[in-house]
Copies of this chain bind each other. A is one copy, B any other.
């Protein structure tokens, strides 16, 4: 397919690489920053523009991969008649693109995409179109990028996005807090990496509710107290420790 990518951030860059890898043609990249647009376009062997009025009208698919809050501004200007235009956001309704075209939808990558990581990740895609034909076309297109493609409407996509925020952004924040703590305490955070990977890696075999371990679920008050005492100079982390201990004990009475 012939594709125009609007956006130059992490999602635009990583999806752009995957789309090239799958041997589609990227005809144009649009970005507000000329340097950013040119750099991404060069990497994808595409043309570029910084002007939404100059978007190539001859492509098959328009991928609006800008930040959630920037989508409405793009949708205000972009006029594509009957061309298929999709955004990539988990928590934004597909109808935001209604002004752009009679054919619109969503191609949502359920993954954390970072352009500085060169290896292309495994991405489950959730697709949705405003007509059955558009959904089918998006399904076929997404299958050229990934083995795991599902149809999901606005509501299910939003629910999965909330769950994704919990298991990725919040989890990563726990890693940040632990790394900060290790630095201050003078111990080596890297020693925790095998543990971190084990906890994540075994979920394909077992439900996490069967795998809960630690002082909270054991009701091991002595260990909990010694941990809280150690965290007395880290009030934020201490509050987090208390909340998790309470939440784990409530979940596993």
Contact = CB atoms under 8 A, between A and B. Distances in A.
Number of identical monomers bound together in the oligomeric complex: 2
Interface string A219-242: 010110011001100001101110
A198 B123 CA distance: 10
Interface residues of A, number: 96
A187 interface: yes
Contacts of A186: 156, 159
Interface stretch (A20-28, A34-42, A129-137, A201-209): A201-209
Contact of A250 (B167, B199, B236, B251): B236
Given A117-B205, A175-B208, A209-B179, A214 B168 contact: yes
Chain B CB within 10 Å, residue with most, of A198, A205, A207, A213: A198
B196 A171 contact: yes
A167 B196 contact: yes
